Amino acid sequence: MTEDATGIAVRQWGELAPGAVLLDGFHAIKHALRFGARVGPVLTTDAAAVLALADRLADDVTEVLRGLLTEVDRDALRGLVPRGHTTEVAALAARPAREDNLAALAHRPRPAPVVLLDNPRNLGNVGAVVRLAAGFGATGVVTTGDLDPWHQNAVRAGAGLHYATAVERVETDGLPPGPLFALDPEGEDIRSVVLPDDAVLAFGSERHGISDEVRARADRLVSLPMRPQVSSYNLATSVRMALFHWGGPKAAG
């Protein structure tokens, strides 16, 4: 008996899955393709619907996507991606080489800061920060701690924009070079501080804040304006405010 298209696609998926990045949903695939990821196979329950979505929202990737799509039955897709996106399309992609990302993060002079997430605990927050960093044109996002910033939940929250900026996990003693500005409630008001383009902007974990190791390495502690008796901002909100402060004067000028 010859193997049908679904069987071939499922087998290829299984062969590629170890070490590959899961792109769950149309927008993650769209961004990965736009920013040069090696993508495939792309599985969907409705190829015509996916191509129509591409024509409407991202016609720059329609033809590339057309050549990658394989239509499979819903049970097969759910067997590979149990909590799949509502667009019912998923793909695997190659993860960028670690050495390439580290080289991009270390290169100076840098045109934009690096965002450091110090021991983050929520993968959704990591993905949201990557999405912000890509939108602001940050050089990259690095994390310390045990969470993998390329985990499928982070990639999904980042809408595939991990491919638009350098994303890596590093040790505290291997941070990218550049002046380290750590966000801390005891720091000086960020509105009085000029953040240089080659800064490393460090944000603590959602619960515990900046670690002692990163605090000791910081060149400067800065704080975000906050109403008294309010405990903290969401991590992604804090990153957004800091990056807006960095880019605001340039945009105004």
pLDDT at 71 over 70: yes
What is the fold, at CATH topology level, of the domain defined by 5-93? 60s Ribosomal Protein L30; Chain: A; (3.30.1330)
Q: Give the model's confidence band at 240: pLDDT under 50 very low, under 70 low, under 90 confident, else very high.
A: very high
What is the fold, at CATH topology level, of the domain defined by 98-252? Alpha/beta knot (3.40.1280)
Quote the crossing angle between the two packed helices 235-252 and 123-136, to the nearest 10°: 10
Convert the pLDDT of each residue in 145-179 to its tens digit.
999 999 999 999 999 999 999 999 999 999 999 99
Q: Give the model's confidence band at 250: pLDDT under 50 very low, under 70 low, under 90 confident, else very high.
A: low
User: Domain segments of the chain: what residues?
Assistant: 5-93, 98-252
Question: How many residues in total does the chain contain?
Answer: 253
